[in-house]
Amino acid sequence: MSDQKPVVLVPGKIHPRVLERFQGKVEVVTAPVGVKPALSAEVAERVRAVAVSGSVNADWIDGLPNLEIISNFGVGYDGVDAKHAAKRGIIVTNTPDVLNDEVADTTIALLINTVRRLYQAESYLRDGKWVKEGPFALSPFSLRGRKVGLFGMGRIGQEIAKRLEPFKVEIGYHTRSKRDELSYTYYASLKDMASAVDILICIVPGTPETHKAINGEIFSALGSNGVFINVGRGSSVDEDAMIKALEDGTLGGAGLDVFYSEPNVPEALLAFDNVSLLPHVASASVPTRNAMADLVADNILGWFAERKVLTPVPETPVKG
């Protein structure tokens, strides 16, 4: 048995670099995405690792009796039942840090694009309207004198805050507890922060606690001069409430990289000229995605080589 390569299951698709890194080192088996694993008992018994870009629920975990590690492609791992995995002594890893800069950069770009309507301005030029109709309309908003609140102040949130500092805006944040090492203003509740700022940036993971936490009450507190930016999880937002707030002018504008039911985007959002929409691309550059893929592979290969992983999630039982 010792000369046999460990078997790694890949449900659905994953970044091709992960598979390249596995060549000659492990045996890869694939399976379609589904509620339960579609594997023979013989194959399921041989699987010792899962490399995934998506979800691994309790049924998948229980269907793999010799599973040791689940390596998740992405910093967010809400699709993996990490608590259930922990009960079975299974390691779960994610890909933090390697995408912090890319997501933070995209957040600032999305914010500026939303406030200054740069996509609309470029489209105006490309459509020949500058020549035919004259100058593009002045943008109703600016970053000058703004107060920005970050919902979430983890690694990525802190990188976003650092990038905001040169724009001379006031910065605050709301998390479950105050971070004494930070000089930014702390707000004890999301509503308190929304009432105090006029730009709200969401960078929290998708959890039961954050599910639709940004609702009509929050948009009303943010106000008609307010701009909402989401690069966290679409599940954190009540999209119906956001659309209503945009329709009646309660909310001034929005920049969204994530949505509640991706890749489905509510038709109503496409009609607003004060909304900037991206197809979940905050970390989508070749260098960053390659680094994420390497970390997925390194966690699995390191586990089998040395019984060590680089980036276990907090719920996981670190063994070895």
| Active-site position among 280, 289, 307, 315 | 280
Told to judge if 233 belongs to the known catalytic residues of this protein, a careful annotator would answer yes
Told to judge if 211 belongs to the known catalytic residues of this protein, a careful annotator would answer no
Six token digits for residue 78: 């809400």
| Active-site position among 165, 247, 262, 307 | 262
Q: If you ran DSSP here, which 8-state letter would residue 10 be given?
A: E
| Active-site position among 46, 233, 239, 289 | 233
Closest CA to 124 of 115, 113, 135, 114: 135
Told to judge if 315 belongs to the known catalytic residues of this protein, a careful annotator would answer no
Residues contacting 150, CB < 8 A, separation 6+: 157, 160, 161, 171, 172, 173, 174, 184, 201, 203
β-bridge pairing 147-151 and 199-202: parallel
Q: Give the chain's count of helices (H) and strands (E).
A: 13, 12
For the stretch 267-271, contacts whose Cβ atoms lie closer than 8 Å and that sit 24 or more positions apart, written own/partner, are: 268/243, 269/239, 269/243
Q: If you ran DSSP here, which 8-state letter would residue 207 be given?
A: -
Q: List active site positions.
A: 233, 262, 280
